[in-house]
Amino acid sequence: MLLIPAIDLKDGKCVRLKQGDMNDSTTFGEDPAAMARRWLNAGARRLHLVDLNGAFAGKPVNEAAIKAIIKEVGDEIPVQLGGGIRDLDTIERYLDDGLSYVIIGTAAVKNPGFLKDACSAFGGHIIVGLDAKDGKVATDGWSKLSGHEVIDLAQKFEDYGVEGVIYTDIGRDGMLSGINIEATVKLAQALSVPVIASGGLSNLKNIEELCAIEFEGVEGVICGRAIYTGDLDFAEAQKRADQLNGEG
């Protein structure tokens, strides 16, 4: 089980939002590169970056901070990024900068042809991010609910050739209320590409619950607010996950 620390970027700083609300943010660090080093030193094997301003603007905004993070971690671990990625040129630029994976969310739902083209042009580097509430996919920084069912869309995108799916229950994100295990398993069972869980991770018990369903195709979990508030000790949690998977 891959525990993936999230670094959410707003105005060049590391923040956390509650349920995607840009007006309800808490700043946890002024130096994104130093934050990346912190998680790397704690044993992270991948980093998850979100350009929050970019997600709302529909174009990259925190590129300087993203480049600083990539420079800091070098090729030690893979880095994935979502937020404001709407065209192939942006993907190419980010991959050239050293990103391992680009996450396409809103644009995948609104313009599936773009996602298809991205998978075709940059095979092996495209992850789709599906944010949902009550099984329906949300777009535009979670401000709009679409009529699409998560599983139907995910299966369609799997056919396009995505590397994996990040599934976020937006009703739980930033609320420390626990991962939506049932919905995550349901999605993983419907796909053959790996699913990364997201939204609501709050404690070690959640990690243990996720490890118990890893065989269903859930390969990782995004760690957000809990590792910043101290509710979850990241290094301890990864160690526990490794023990449960017979690696520790």
Q: Which residues are catalytic?
A: 8, 131
Please state the length of the chain.
248
Largest CA distance in the chain: 44
Q: How far apart are CA 24 and CA 7, in angstroms?
A: 16
- Report the distance separating Cα 158 and Cα 141, nearest Å: 22
Residue type, 25: S
The span from the CA of 73 to the CA of 180, in Å, is 31
Helices (H), the chain: 32-41, 52-57, 63-73, 88-97, 106-110, 112-121, 150-160, 181-190, 204-212, 225-229, 234-244
Collapse the DSSP code of 155 into the 3-class scheme (helix H, G, I; strand E, B; otherwise coil) and give the result: helix
Question: How far is 23 from 72, CA to CA, in rounded Å?
Answer: 29
